[in-house]
Amino acid sequence: MPYCYYKAYGLPVVRTRMFTYINPRRADLFATSFAMQVARVEAGQQDILTHGNLDSVRTMLDVRDAVRAYWIAASKGVTGEVYNIGGTKTVTVGEFLETLRGQARCPVKTVQDPNLMRPTDVTLQIPDCRKFQAATGWEPQIGFEDSVRHLLDHCRKTVSA
């Protein structure tokens, strides 16, 4: 729709396609779900972390980098253009989970839950962000491990509240 408004009315629209990002305040994301479960296991509120497909590949981006990218897109992006925005750290969902488990304060047992398996799954999401980077100079600044730590610390605070 935004492109239609740009073409029809000349509105200064810049379109973006945001790929997988780590956001502590979005409970519907697999990363946040995993981190909340790790925090509950640490707090003794849960025994086992449940998960679905761990083989899907994602390129991860910290939400703080994502917000900065939106701001830069709005201020430096070319009107009418579309840009992919995503991270540079590519991992499987299972590797992400192992990073979380590595930062846990206690052992975290996991089990696949058949109810969390999707009938169809996008198994590979790796964006080409070169166009956005060339147009704006934007690059992610927050490292993967720091982003995971930020997520887990937020979930620990939420669980303890």
Domain of residue 102, residue span: 2-7+14-160
**Four-point Cα dihedral 152, 155, 160, 161, nearest 10:** 150
Model confidence band, residue 2 (pLDDT cutoffs 50, 70, 90): confident
The pLDDT value recorded for residue 10 is 86
- Helix 93-103 and helix 144-160, axial crossing angle in degrees, nearest 10: 60
Radius of gyration of the chain (CA): 18
Q: Alpha-carbon distance 127 to 18, whole Å?
A: 9
Which residues lie across from 112 on neighbouring strands? Answer: 51
Percent of the chain surpassing pLDDT 70: 100
The pLDDT value recorded for residue 59 is 96
3-class secondary-structure state, position 123: coil
Q: Provide the domain count of the chain.
A: 1
Q: Alpha-carbon distance 104 to 102, whole Å?
A: 6
H or E segment at 50? strand 48-51
Which tokens is 32 given?
A: 């946040």
The pLDDT value recorded for residue 6 is 82
H or E segment at 37? helix 30-42
Domain of 120, CATH number, reads 3.40.50.720
Residues 102-161: tens digit of each pLDDT? 999 999 999 999 999 988 888 899 999 999 999 999 999 999 999 999 999 999 999 999
Q: Is the pTM of this model over 0.75?
A: yes
Residues 72-87: tens digit of each pLDDT? 999 999 999 999 999 9
Which residues lie across from 62 on neighbouring strands? Answer: 22
The pLDDT value recorded for residue 115 is 94
Percent of the chain surpassing pLDDT 90: 87
Which tokens is 61 given?
A: 């981006």
